[in-house]
């Protein structure tokens, strides 16, 4: 408010004294000519970038100060651990530390290559990731299409409220609920026994474990994954439907020619993210069920890393497996994204640089 007083003073002076009006008009043009030597219009951002460092520092030091806690966090809990991956190339001994442990090149990776347990973990990871991609991915999309077709807002909101809830429960809780429902002593098997039937080992059968895992994932996250599809659906231009209907397109035609093409970008985006994350099939979910199903079915790359490294004390093998997983995951993400680009989709990176 204080800085606006000069403006007020100027405006009052122009209204009281007409002579200052012309004076203002004569002082106007010189300012304009000051700007013109700068060779045409420039974006404000460009001008700011050209300011000398000292000026920017004096203007921005508070903002830079605000970045400090976050950057410190990133360095300590992300970039240092990333560098810590060098133990994958060492014969790491905890009492010697990273600085004094001996380097052994790619030996840890060679050991992994020869380790059947690692291949089992890799195979399980791929199987589970494949099953998840095939069985989980379409569910939220289908659910979003159904929910979007509901006319009653009340039913729609009620369903969304219920469907989002399990996303906020921990994996321990979800698996506890599954165990209490489907476990050997759980209430479904209780009902079966009371009806004189044999109980079904839902929770402990290694052969059906992938299906159980996908069931848990759908129970927990399908409702939540629906949100983004619903948002994309609500952004579809209604006049397209109207025009199509006027041309005689029925509901399936409209779904195929309007709804699904409009959602293609979002579907591709989510698919890419899913592929980038494919090797992280769900760590907590598996570590929690490894005891009841056995490592034969529930050992994935993450649990292998944990049991080999932290529990078994073979730090270097664990780190090598973890590093291999991280690198492959990043490559998959990058690969899926560039394929999407080639197919003319925005993908993820392009979107981000645009923001």
Looking at residues 101 to 140 of the shown chain, list those that interact with another protein (rule: CB under 8 A). none
Minimum CB distance to another protein smaller for 120 or for 148: 148
Distance in angstroms (rounded) separating the CA atoms of residues 216 and 293 = 15
Q: What are phi and psi of 122, to 5 degrees?
A: -65, -45
Torsion of CA 88, 91, 96, 102, to 10 degrees: -100
Question: CB count, 10 Å around CB of 90?
Answer: 21
Q: Which token pair is 92?
A: 């790491």
Site residues for another protein, 181-240, by CB under 8 A, read 181, 185-187, 190, 194, 219, 222-223, 227-228, 230-232, 234-235, 238
Q: How far is the CB of 351 from another protein (least distance, A)?
A: 7
Backbone angles phi, psi at 280, to 5 degrees: -95, 75
Residue 18 CB, nearest approach to another protein (Å): 29
Q: Report the run of H or E that residue 102 belongs to, with start and end.
A: strand 102-103
Q: Which stretch binds another protein (CB under 8 A): 9-17, 103-111, 115-123, 300-308?
A: 300-308
CB of 50 to another protein, least distance (A): 12
- Report the residue from 112, 121, 144, 175 that binds another protein according to the rule CB under 8 A: 175
Closest to another protein by CB, 87 vs 281, is 87
74 binds another protein (CB under 8 A): yes
Question: HEC string of 84-132?
Answer: HHHHHHEECCCCCHHHHCEECCCHHHHHHHHCHHHHHHHHHHHHHHHHH
Query: Does residue 84 bind another protein (CB under 8 A)?
Result: yes
Site string for another protein, 323-342 (x = CB under 8 A): x-xxx-xx--xx--------
Nearer to another protein, 132 or 303 (CB): 303
The number of angstroms, rounded, from the C-alpha of 123 to the middle of its chain's C-alpha atoms is 24
Does position 284 interact with another protein (CB under 8 A)? The reply is: yes
Cα gap 233→226, rounded to integer Å:
10
Cα dihedral 286, 291, 294, 299 in deg (nearest 10): 30
Number of residues located near another protein, criterion CB under 8 A: 115
Residue 71 binds another protein, judged by CB under 8 A: yes
- Cα Rg for the chain, rounded, in angstroms? 30
Positions in 263-282 near another protein (CB under 8 A): 266, 276, 280
Find the binder of another protein among 140, 141, 166, 272 (CB under 8 A). Answer: 166
Q: CB-based contacts of 253: which residues, under 8 Å, 6+ apart?
A: 244
- Regarding 90 and contact with another protein (CB under 8 A), the answer is no
């Amino acid at each position: 408010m204080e800085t606006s007083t000069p403006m007020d003073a100027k405006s009052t002076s122009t209204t009281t004294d007409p002579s200052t009006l012309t004076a203002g008009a004569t002082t106007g043009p010189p300012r304009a000519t000051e700007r013109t030597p700068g060779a045409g219009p420039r974006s404000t951002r460009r001008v700011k970038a050209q300011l000398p460092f000292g000026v920017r520092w004096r203007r921005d030091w508070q903002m830079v100060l605000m970045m400090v806690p976050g950057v410190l966090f990133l360095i300590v809990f992300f970039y240092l651990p990333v560098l810590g991956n060098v133990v994958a190339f060492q014969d790491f001994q905890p009492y010697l530390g990273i600085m004094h442990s001996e380097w052994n090149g790619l030996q840890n990776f060679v050991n992994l290559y020869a380790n059947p347990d690692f291949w089992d973990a890799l195979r399980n990871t791929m199987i589970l990731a494949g099953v998840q991609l095939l069985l989980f991915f379409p569910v939220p999309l289908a659910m979003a299409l159904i929910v979007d077709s509901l006319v009653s807002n009340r039913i729609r909101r009620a369903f969304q409220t219920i469907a989002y809830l399990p996303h906020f429960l921990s994996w321990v809780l979800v698996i506890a609920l599954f165990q209490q429902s489907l476990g050997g002593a759980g209430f479904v098997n209780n009902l079966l026994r009371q009806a004189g039937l044999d109980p079904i080992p839902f929770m402990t059968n290694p052969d059906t474990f992938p299906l159980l895992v996908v069931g848990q994932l759908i129970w927990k996250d399908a409702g939540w994954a629906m949100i983004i599809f619903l948002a994309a659906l609500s952004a579809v231009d209604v006049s397209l439907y109207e025009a199509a209907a006027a041309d005689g397109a029925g509901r399936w035609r409209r779904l195929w020619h309007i709804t699904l093409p409009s959602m293609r970008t979002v579907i591709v985006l989510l698919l890419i993210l899913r592929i980038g994350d494919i090797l992280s099939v769900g760590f907590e979910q598996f570590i929690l069920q490894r005891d009841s199903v056995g490592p034969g079915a529930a050992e994935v790359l993450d649990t292998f890393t944990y049991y080999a490294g932290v529990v078994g004390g073979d730090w270097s093998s664990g780190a090598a497996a973890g590093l291999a997983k991280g690198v492959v995951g990043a490559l998959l993400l990058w690969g899926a994204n560039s394929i999407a680009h080639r197919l003319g989709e925005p993908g993820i990176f392009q979107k981000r640089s645009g923001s």
